[in-house]
Amino acid sequence: MANVKLVFYGSESVECDSKTITAYVNSNQLLYVLISDLDVEYHGEQYTVLDKPTAVRLVRELKRQISLMD
């Protein structure tokens, strides 16, 4: 299994470019999702860990919400 970590940066257009979302599968085969604020004045992190069925539900809901945009 390849080690892959994806990092998504917030949009510059709404001044969220100091925010990141990082996603990867951890050693327990669970999806680890980390939300970080890289702002110089405030550096905070929040995370959640999802099992595969919950991660699939999240993807479906994200697709549904994206389809409602424009």
In a 10 Å sphere around its CB, with 0-12 CB exposed, 13-18 middle and 19+ buried, how is residue 25 labelled?
A: middle
Count of domains for the chain: 1
Query: How many angstroms separate the CA atoms of 22 and 24, rounded?
Result: 7
Which residue type, as a one-letter code, is found at position 11?
Answer: S
Written as six digits, the tokens of 32 are 């680890």
- Ordered strands of the 6-9 beta sheet: 6-9, 19-25, 31-37, 44-50
Let me know if residue 1 belongs to a domain. no
Is 1 a residue whose pLDDT tops 90? no
Instruction: Name the residue range of residue 63's domain.
Output: 6-67
Let me know if residue 56 belongs to a domain. yes
* pLDDT one-digit tens code per residue, 9-51: 887 777 777 788 899 998 889 999 998 887 767 778 899 999 9
Let me know if residue 18 belongs to a domain. yes
Let me know if residue 31 belongs to a domain. yes
Let me know if residue 29 belongs to a domain. yes
Query: How many angstroms separate the CA atoms of 53 and 36, rounded?
Result: 24
